[in-house]
Structure 1
Amino acid sequence: MDIGQRLKEIRIQRGLSQRELATRAGLTNGTISLIEKDKTSPSVASLKSLLDAIPISMAEFFGSIEEPDTPKIFFRAGELTQVAPVGPGQVSLRQLGNARKHTLQVLHETYPPGADTGPEFLAHEGEEAGIITHGQIQLTVGDIVGVLNSGDGYIFDSRLPHRFRNIGTEPCKIVSALTPPVF
């Protein structure tokens, strides 16, 4: 997906100038321009700030989610919806089902070595929990920093500023849950 082009299309559809979107998202005009020209790739935190300023969810941004007449219960690996930018060295967030139809959002997260959610801390309503299924992650919540390994888990009030960073040498995989859905 061409993230910059998609952002530009949605910004224009919503009648927003680059300057107005930048102000709403707390970013610079130049940053918006660079993203739209695909000269830079936003972090998960920056993209979330941009999309919250529009407003549109990451799931809506990255594609349409089928809404069948009957609830879908089972999902194969290929049926999870990508809800974050994907590229070399970037965090991958894949969503189970349609978060707009549930009060719980389940994500399969992959952090390549050195990848993180961005220099900006995330903060949003609700709670967040997860279990590391492979590798190692450094999680910062407020002023508390912890290093978690495969089999370890976390749960916290997601209104607290937080950031995930893979400090290991292999990819880190996490199965997480958020309530209410925010991505």
Structure 2
Amino acid sequence: MEAGFDVGARLRQLRLARGLSQRELAKRAGVTNSTISLIEQNSVSPSVSSLKKILDALPVSISAFFAGDEPSPPRPFYRAGELTEIGDGHLSWRLVAARQPDRRMSIIHERYPPGSDTGVEMLEHDGEEGGVVIAGEIEITVSGEMAVLGEGDAYYFDSRLPHRFRNVGDRECVIVSASTPPTFSDGGQEQHHA
């Protein structure tokens, strides 16, 4: 997550703005009270899939969580430092044009350190997603079918199928991906690996 970004304070702010107790948010998200409490105290750093599950219960999109709710005027170019980090502190997912209004797709620059993955729970959401492996290798499981993809290899699938990403290599894996609809700009019951 971005240096200096206070995940706990932001979650607490959004929870209180919706008039929810930690207990009620935990119940809606299907997590324990202590999970919400520990995140708000910044005692634990939630995985992306865990944070997404909690934000879906509010509902708040990951991009709104990290970028704030202020839209930015449309523009065609973004420097590397302007991408919005929506990763979990271990995985890095940098979203292009996070605050652009009426965005119809998500483009994400993903980085998976060796041994990292999107979590034990298979992810599912409406839409389609695809990407190209830029460096390293990644094991992708989609609806029980598994493949290890390397540099230059690509994937494309219906995101309603259960899926998971895992770096099985000994070096960082870098992927540039796209998904539609823009999972990270809409709240709701969607989950996504990136």
Alignment RMSD (CA, Å): 1.5
Tell me which residue corresponds to 2:51.
47
For residues 101 and 86 of structure 2, what CA distance do their matches in structure 1 show?
13
Q: Is contact 1:104-1:180 (8 Å) kept?
A: yes
Deviation of the 1:5 alpha carbon: 2.0
Tell me which residue corresponds to 1:160.
161
Is 1:67 aligned with 2:68? no
Residue correspondences, number: 178
Deviation of the 1:39 alpha carbon: 2.0
TM-score scaled by structure 1? 0.91
Deviation of the 1:173 alpha carbon: 0.5
Is 1:102 aligned with 2:107? no
Q: Which has the higher contact order (CA 8 A, sep 6+)?
A: 2
Is 1:134 aligned with 2:138? no
TM-score scaled by structure 2? 0.86
- Amino-acid identity (%): 54
Q: Is contact 2:71-2:101 (8 Å) kept?
A: no
Q: Is contact 1:21-1:53 (8 Å) kept?
A: yes
Tell me which residue corresponds to 1:38.
42
The amino acid of 2:155's aligned partner reads Y
For residues 71 and 85 of structure 2, what CA distance do their matches in structure 1 show?
13
The amino acid of 1:67's aligned partner reads S
Structure 1, gaps ≥5 residues long: none
- Shift >4 Å, 4+ stretches: none
